[in-house]
Structure 1
Amino acid sequence: MPVADEDADEDNPYLREPPTDFAPLEDLSEVEAREQVELLREAIREHDRRYYVESEPLIADRTYDALFARLRDLEEEFDLSHPDSPTRSVGGEPMEEFETVEHVEPMLSIDQSGEVEDVRDFGNRVQREVGDVEYVCEPKFDGVSMEFVYEAGSLERAVTRGDGREGDDVTRNARTIGSVPQQLHGDHPEFLAVRGEVYMPKDAFQAHNRERIERGEEPFANPRNATAGTIRQLDPAIVAERPLAVFYFDVLAASELEDTHRDELERFPEFGLRVNDRVEVVDDIEDAIEYRDRMLEARDDLGYEIDGVVIKVDDRDAREELGQTARHDRWAFAYKFPARAEVTPIVDVALQVGRTGRLTPVALLEPVDVGGVTVSRASLHNPEEIAEKNVNVGDTVRVQRAGDVIPYVEEVVKKGSEGHYEMLDACPVCGSPVERDGPIAFCTGGLGCDAQLRRSIEYYASDDGLDLEGLGEKSVRQLVDADLLESVADLYELEQDELLALEGWGGTSAENLLKEIEGSREPPLSDFISALGIPLVGPTTARELAREFGTFDAFREAAETEPERLEGVDDVGDTVAETIHEFFVSEANAAVVDSVLEHVSPQEVDIDTGGDELAGLTFVFTGSLEEMTRGDARELVETHGANATGSVSGNTDYLVAGDNPGATKQEDARDEDVPILDESEFWTLLEDEGIDLG
C-alpha cells in the first residue's frame, strides 16, 4: 500500500499540510535529527510518487522545496547521508568512467516491421504454438532502454542496455531522475529487476534545444539523442539539470512473479514505478493492429516521442513456451510507424546568435525525416523571408535540405496560427537592442554578448585566427561552462591545474594547449586582425590591412577616427570600412580588445614585400616550430608570394609539421596526397628556392 494513506498522516507530519517553520539545527539532538530525517525521507519519497507516478501532488512545489532543503541541511549538519536518500537526486562528484556490468537477465531486442502482414504473421505463429491469447499493447517509446535493479526495495543499480548482455552502470545518473524511486513503496518483492525507457518529454526537449541554440551550442537532433547524450554524462550534476523521465514496462526478474503482464503493470504504481497510461489489453492480433492505428493518429498529441507500438503476449506461461531466439523474444512484436516525411509542425522559434551578432531565426520542429535524415530544426533565414512565407509557431510546414545539408522551411502547408513570427526587439542572450540592416537582424551587444563571446573565442583560436591547436568548439564550450573563460583575454590566464580538473584533459593535452597559447602572445599583425572576428574581415582582408598600416595601433586609430582611410585598401569598400569602424567604436568590443592587448603584442609588418619565389604554392602549418612561430612562418611564405591557409585541401602543396602536430591535418594531407615536410625539410625548401633566411 502507498505510504500516504489517512492513517499514516498522524505518524508523519510532512505528508499533508506539512509545517515548514523548522527549529534551528543547533537546537536538535542527534536522536531528534535522525528521527526527522527518516520522516522527511519517507514523506519526500511519497511526494515524488504522487507527483511523478500519480500526477496528483499533495503539496505545493514551494512546500516540497522547503522539505527537501531541510532534509539536505540535516544530512549535512549531522553527517546522515545515505545512498537511498532523495537528496542524492541532485548529482554528485563527476565520474572518471562507467563500470560495465552484466544484466540480471538478457535485455533482448524486439522483432519489428512496419508492414501489417508481418504483424499478422506474428499473430498466426503465436496462435499455432500456444493457441488463442490476449495481448498487452504499449507505445514503443523512442528513448533509452535501461535495467533498474531493486534489492529489499532499495535501488541497487541502473544499467544501460548496451549489447543486451551487459551495459554501463549509470546508477548515479539515474538517481537524479525524478521518476526513478530510490526506495520502492508498498508491498514490493524482495528482489525486482525491471526494464524502463528513459526519455526526454517533447516540450522539455524543445525548451532545452532552444537554450542550446541561444547559447550558440549545437542542438540535439531529436529527443532520443538528447536522452542518450545525457544519461552517459560523467557528471551527475549535468544529468540532474536536464529534464529526463522514465516509463517502466517489463519485469526482467523478480523474487515473486505475477501470472500475467497486465498484473505486473497494475502493481508497478503501487511500488512507485511510473507506467504509461496508454497501455491496453486486447483480445486478438486484429485488435492490436487497430490499437496501433489509433496510436498513430494520436502520435502528435502525446508529450513524448513514439515510433510504433509493442504487442506482447500477456500470459507468462505462454511466453515461456514461445521462448526466444538469440536476438529477440518470440512473444513480442513491434509494429513500427512510417517515418514523418518532410511535413511537420513548428513547435517554437529560437534565435541563433552568430559570431558577428547576426540573428538567425531557427524553427524548432517535431522531428521529421528529410532525405533519410532526422531533422528537428530548420533555418528561417531572416525576418523578411519569414514575412514573405507567413511562417509562425503552430504552422505545419514542408522542410527541405539545401544541397542535402542545411534544412530550411520551404513553405507553409497548413496554417495553424495568425500572422507570421515577429523578430524580438532584444537579443535573447544578452538583452542588447536588435538592429536591422536590410533583411538581416543583428544583436548590438558585440563581444559583451555571451553567445558572440563563445563564438569569438572559437574564431580567435581557429585556422582563420591564431590557429591554436587543441582549442576547438567542444573545448571552448567546456572552458566557458566551467567559468574559466569569460573573455578572449582569459585564454592567457589559464593554468594547467584548472585544465587537469576538467573531464577529458590529461597532462599532455593541457601542456600542449598552454604552449600554443603562450606562443600566440606575439602574433603576426594580419593573424591578430583576422582573429578579432571583425564582421566582413577575413584572413585576406586582414593581410591587406596589415600591409597598409604596419601596426595595430595605426590600424585601430584609422578605424576609429578616419574610416575613410580604410577604403583605399584592397578588398575594403565603404561597407567593409563602416563595419570595421562600428566594431571598434563599440564600447563592449573596445573593452575586449584592450583586455587582449594586455597579453598580446601584435608584430609590426615589414613593408618589404620580398619576392615571388614561392608564387603559386600553398602551405599549411601544424605543430610547433623551433625557429619561429607558425604565424611568422605563414607571414614569411606569403611575403615571398605563396598562400598560407589553415586547412588542408586538394589545392595544398605542402603541409609543414612541427612538434606535436595535429592528427587531423596530417590525415587530410595523406588523403589528398599532400607532401608532409618536417621543419628541417621546410627550411631546406626555402633555401633551394633562393630565399635568404638571414
Structure 2
Amino acid sequence: MQPSELAIGNEIKRLVHLIKHQNENYFQKGISEISDYEYDQLLKRLSLLEEAYPHLKQSHSPTEALGERPIPGFSLVYHQAPMLSLAKTYLEEEIAQFVTRVNKILPGSSIDFLCEPKIDGMALSIVYEQGKLVRVVTRGDGEKGDDITRNAIKCLPFPKTIEDFSYQSFEVRGEACMPKAVFEALNNVRKEQGEALWANPRNITAGTLKTLDIDLVKGRSLAFYGYSFYSQAHPCATQQEGLALLSKLGFATAPFYKLCSNTTEIMAYIHYWGQHKDELPFGIDGIVIKVNDLTQQTAIGMTSTSPRWAIAYKYQPDMAHSILEKVTFQVGRTGVVTPIAHFQPMALAGTMVRRASLYNADALAKKDLYVGDTIFIEKGGGIIPKVVGVDVTRRVKTSMPIAFAQICPACHTVLQREEGTVAYYCPNKQQCLPQLKGALLHFAHRKAMDIDSLGPKTVEALCKAKLVTTAVDLYTLRYEEMRSLEGFQQVMIQKLLSNIKSSKSKSFDKVVFALGIQYVGETVAKKLALYFKSMARLQRVTITELLQLPDVGEKIAQSIMDYLQDPFQQAILVGLQKAGLQFAMQEELVLHSKLPLASKKFVITGIFQQFTRQELIKYIEQAGGTLLSSISDKVDYLVVGSKAGSSKLAKAKTLAIPILGENDIARLVL
C-alpha cells in the first residue's frame, strides 16, 4: 500500500470512529456535541473518500446506516417498508442538479415537486388495523425500529381510533417534535428549579419518546405532523392527496406546503422560509422537496439508503464565532453546579449573546476548552445559545485548559456527584448563598406564596445584610431594621411587609409548592395537598403511599422523602408553621365537600367541541373533581370526546366505569 493510501485509510478510520461516536451520543444519550452541519460535513467527507477508494471502505460503515440502533427495553419491530433517510444538501446548485436528474429520468413528463418544511424532530411510523392503533415505531436503522407506543400515547396528539371506515388498515409516517412554546416553558421551570437547561427541542423529543421512565413522559406535550400515507387498499396518487387525506382522518400536517414545477420556484420557497422559519410554532432545519406523483416516484426509484425522488435542503445553522474569555460555575437552587462559557459579545440570530451553558462536567470535558479559544456558538433549536465547536488551529500554546470545579464557587464546600448522574452539586444547603437565594425566590414566586415585592435585588440585599437566610426569616422582618438598607424606601418596605403578611393566607397546596422540594412542581404539590390534607399527615407519609398518587414516580417520591427527613428542612417547616402559614386544607376541604363533583375522579380523552382540553380540566377541578391520567378502578367517570382513545374506552367498559360526554359533565355540575 502506498503511503498516501495509508494516510487515507487512517483518515477513513478516524472519520468512521468519530461519526459512530456522535451517533452513539445523539441516538442513545440524547447529546449533541456538534451541530448538524458539522456532522453532515463529516459524513459527506467520509462518503467522498469511500467513493474514491472503495477498497478502503470499512464493513459496517456509517454511510450505510440509516439511523440509530435499538434501545434496550423496547420491543424491536420491522417496518412494512424501509424508512429511508433523505439525501441532504446545503448547496443551491445541488437542488438544481436534483431537478435536472429527475427530468432526465422521466423525459417529456410534467413533474411537480411538493415542498414542505423539514421539521427538526423524530421520524415515526404509526400503524392502524381495523381502525385501531396497533403500534408507533421509531425509524431506527430504517429496516427496524423501537416500539414506543406506550410513550407516544401519553404525549402525542394523534387519533387512537379511526372513525372513517373507508380507511381501516394503513400506515402514517411523520415527525414528532416539541413545540417551541412548550420547550421554553419547560426550560423556564428547570431554571426555576435550579436544573441545567435543555439544549434543544429535538433532543428532548427523542429523550421523551425513548425513555423507560413513564413518569418523565407525563407533562411533556409533543406534536406530531404526518407527511406520508400508505395503504395497499386505498393508495394515494400524489403526496398532496396523501396530506389532504391525513388531515381528513384527524392528523396534523405541516402547514404551508407548496407545489413547485421548477428550480426557480423551489428556491423561492426555500429562501422565503429561510427568512421566516422563526415564525413557525416548531423548529425547522430545512425544506424537503419530493416528486409529487407517486407513480413517478416508483419510476425514479431509490438507492440502498435514500429515495432518488426526494432531497432535503438544509439551512446553514445560525452560527458565529467568538473568543472564550472564561468559564464560571453557577450554583442553582437545588445545588446543581453548571459551567457557563463567557465570550466576547456578538450578534446571533437577531440577539446579542455573551454566554452559553456548557451543561455539566462530562460535556465540558468533551469540549476540551482552553481560555482564549476561538469557539463556535449556535442557537440550539433557534432558541438557546450553545457552544458547538472550537477552532484548535487558533489555540495559543500558552493558554490553559479549563477543568470542572471541585469545590463550590460560592461556599467552597467539596462538590458531590451521585452515582449514575451527570450533575455535580453542592451539599451545603444551610450556608450556600446561591441555594438560599434561589430557595427564597422560588418561595416568593407568584405560583407559590406570591410575595410580589421580593425580587432578586431585594433578596440579594436582605441576604447580604444577613436579615434573611431562609423563608422563616421573612416573617420576622421589621420595618426598623430595613430602613438603613440602600434603596429601601418607606413605601417599598411597607409594600414588602404587607405582601409577606398576605402570603400567610395562601392555601396549603401553595405552601407545599413553595417549599421547593426537588422535582415537585405545581401540579404534584396540589395533589399532595389534596390527598394528604395536612403537613402533619404528609410528614408521616411512606414511600409506598406516595407511589399511589398519579404522576408520582420513584424519583419524585424519593425526593419528597429526602426533604421531609432532612433536619434542616424540618426546622424550616417548624418555623413556617409558627409564623402562621396554612399547614392544612381545612377551610378548602369544607368548601370542596359542598361542590357538585367533590371526591369524584375523572379521566378525559378525545377532542371536545365546547371546551379546549385545558378548559375542560379547569371546569371539572373548579367543580371539585380530580383528574387522573389513566383508567383504573379508582376512576368514577370517563369523559369522552371525538377521536377518543380506544384503549381507555375498552378498559372503562371492562371496569363498568360510567362514560360521559361533555354535555353530561355540565348536567352533573348543575
| TM-score where L is the length of structure 1 | 0.43
* Larger relative contact order (Cα-Cα within 8 Å, sequence gap ≥ 6): 2
TM-score by length of 2: 0.45
Higher Cα radius of gyration: 1
